[in-house]
A and B are shown apart, each in its own frame.
Chain A
Amino acid sequence: MKKLSRGPIIFLIILTLLNYLPIILTVVYSFNASKITSVWGGLSLTWYRQLLNDNDLKKSLINSLIVAFFTCNFAVIIGTSAAIAMRNTKLWIDNVISYFSTLPIMIPEIILGMLFMAIFSFINLPFGFVTLIIAHTSFCIPYVFLLVRARLVGMDPSYEEAAKDLGASTFQTFRDIIFPYILPGILSGVLLSFAMSFDDVVISIFTTGPTVNTLAIKIYTKMKTGVTPEINALATIILIITMISVILYELVNRKNITKI
């Protein structure tokens, strides 16, 4: 393979820098003492201190974590069982169901938001945690389902046959052969689902109740009214959490590659 010449390397560097520019600026301005973003007023931790005292924000963070936690669990149960059940299917109904279950990541988010808001008010389900979790589960199932299915497609069927020949029951085969093999897929699915649920704005706006605010909704409403410097500090904290998660994700995936 040819080595890259200078032009492409410069292109990659510039684009990577541009990609990071907004993030770096957010971090830098989170330490800005001045309340106006365009003026640099020296270093300060004011906004971090203010963040610590903002009880509303803390509450919305806890709400986001609760929603993400339940969403991940449901998405993993539904997505994984579906992938296992339908891996070698020839049933037309299975294809229909798997098409519709992966639809949420194929269509514009606004349609899902509209759909859930309409149906929940139709069946009179009170808007709040339950509606948020049901809605978030919809766009997390496809990720778990596709990731686990990708693992299963790469699995050598002789492992399973060997286990069966040696007298393992269906449950034993699942526990000792299939489950360890798909575990990296499940873990990636959990991380991805968590991130997606935690970040979601569009669908949350339509499915949240008057008393439940998630962190993303809170940030969104603050941003619409103009930037408060507090958000820069919050963004920096979330950024650090994200970086740790990405590195964890990469570690899971790396193990997963060496295992094959």
Chain B
Amino acid sequence: MKFKRLYAFLLRVPVYSYTISFIIIPLIYMLVLSFLTKAQTWGYTFDFTLANYERVFSSFYMGIFIESLKLALITTTIVLFVGYAYGYFMARTSDAWKRRLMILLMIPFWTSGLIRLNGWIIIFRSNGVLDKILMFFNIIDKPLKLLYSYPAVVIGMIYFLLPFMILSVFSSVEKMDWSLVEAARDLGATSFEAFKSITLVQTMPGILSGIVLTFVPSMGMFYVAEILGGNKIVLISNVISEQMTKGRNTPFAAALSVILMILTSIILSLYKKFTKTSELEGIL
């Protein structure tokens, strides 16, 4: 019995020591840092201040927060509708096709995000593939100049995050009890009514998990905005990155991160409240 206790202890050592020293302590440090004062030249001094938070809540930075949330919301909404349809239809194909579609979905998903962004640059750039095609069919007469624009960033985000929604919805449709839909249909429900009151309810865990998996990362993907949006679209993650590197204002970056972290926690706890589980469906 003594040996068993030792075994249980030893197995916990790696995860406990890693999580405490590299997740929990840094999180506490970030919180402390956000109340400190930036030093004149480099680093910070241990003077307690609320100035960082005052600056975060100034109208300029609040505007950027709202802009980031708006982009995340637009992205998530489009991803929800397109991803739901895709995941739902995919789950209704034959087993052989499910496997094929899954592999087709996984290859781009696993390919480096940067490499896929590179493809979009080829498409969007002035006189690029998209402009050429549209001009060939006389739909437009001069290049659209989509690269470094808002729509380019939205498309890039959708492209990145769609697979998460598809996988979440797919796995919840797979678990569905179809006999309930049939029963509803037998009792005279139209296919839309059956969808609304049976399918939608049963696949809700997948929908919610997909929303979390889309919304949360879309607030932090600064490199999509940077590469497809140029310097025109500034998101909260761009500001954090700038403050850490060029601005050398670590306390302010910490304060921004704390607020972003609180926003994320609110979303995650809402998810937990609605689904009564903290696990996200379909990511693995």
Contact = CB atoms under 8 A, between A and B. Distances in A.
A145 to B, nearest CB: 8
Contact of B14 (A37, A77, A110): A77
B145 interface: no
Nearest to A145: B15
Interface stretch (B58-66, B109-117, B194-202): B109-117
B26 A119 contact: yes
Contacts of A224: 226-227
Nearest to B163: A19
A interface SS class: helix
Interface string B13-38: 11110111011111101100100000
A44 interface: no
B127 interface: yes
Most buried by B among A29, A101, A224: A101
Given A21-B119, A224-B227, A242-B111, A150 B86 contact: no
B92 A11 contact: no
B254 A235 contact: no
Given A85-B8, A108-B219, A115-B27, A223 B14 contact: no
Contacts of B86: 11-12, 15
Interface string A224-246: 10010001101100110011011
A22 B170 CA distance: 24
B159 interface: yes
Contacts of A101: 15, 18-19, 23
Contacts of A104: 23
Given A147-B284, A232-B118, A239-B115, A246 B107 contact: yes
Interface string B117-155: 111111101111100100000000000000000000000
A238 B253 contact: no
Nearest to A192: B284
A223 B92 contact: no
Nearest to A94: B12
A206 to B, nearest CB: 7
Given A81-B11, A117-B244, A146-B284, A202 B85 contact: no
Q: Which range contains the number of B residues in contact with the other chain?
A: 35 or more
B216 A138 contact: no
A122 B29 contact: yes
Nearest to A22: B119
A66 interface: no
Contact of B220 (A85, A111, A199, A250): A111
B77 interface: no
A130 to B, nearest CB: 12
Nearest to A201: B223
Given A114-B240, A239-B115, A223 B227 contact: yes
A110 B237 contact: yes
Contact of A170 (B7, B93, B219): B7
A234 B162 CA distance: 25
Contacts of A22: 116-120, 122-123, 159
A199 B117 CA distance: 13
B29 A25 contact: no
B135 to A, nearest CB: 12
B107 A243 contact: yes
Contacts of A260: none
A103 interface: yes
Contacts of B217: 108-109
Interface in A189-212: 195, 198-199, 201-202, 205-206
A204 to B, nearest CB: 11
B118 A227 contact: yes
A22 B123 CA distance: 7
Contacts of A52: none
A143 B283 CA distance: 9
A26 interface: yes
A143 B128 CA distance: 38
B260 interface: yes
Contact of B125 (A11, A37, A110): A37
Nearest to A219: B114
B82 interface: yes
B233 to A, nearest CB: 14
B284 A12 contact: no
Contacts of B216: 106-108
Given A78-B18, A220-B227, A250-B103, 6 more contacts: A12-B89, A23-B111, A23-B119, A107-B264, A116-B26, A170-B7
18 contacts: A22-B123, A23-B111, A23-B115, A25-B123, A38-B132, A81-B15, A82-B11, A82-B15, A107-B261, A108-B264, A110-B241, A113-B241, A114-B257, A198-B112, A199-B113, A219-B114, A220-B223, A250-B99
9 tightest CB-CB pairs across the interface, nearest first? Answer: A22-B119, A108-B220, A85-B11, A82-B15, A235-B115, A110-B237, A119-B26, A8-B89, A38-B127
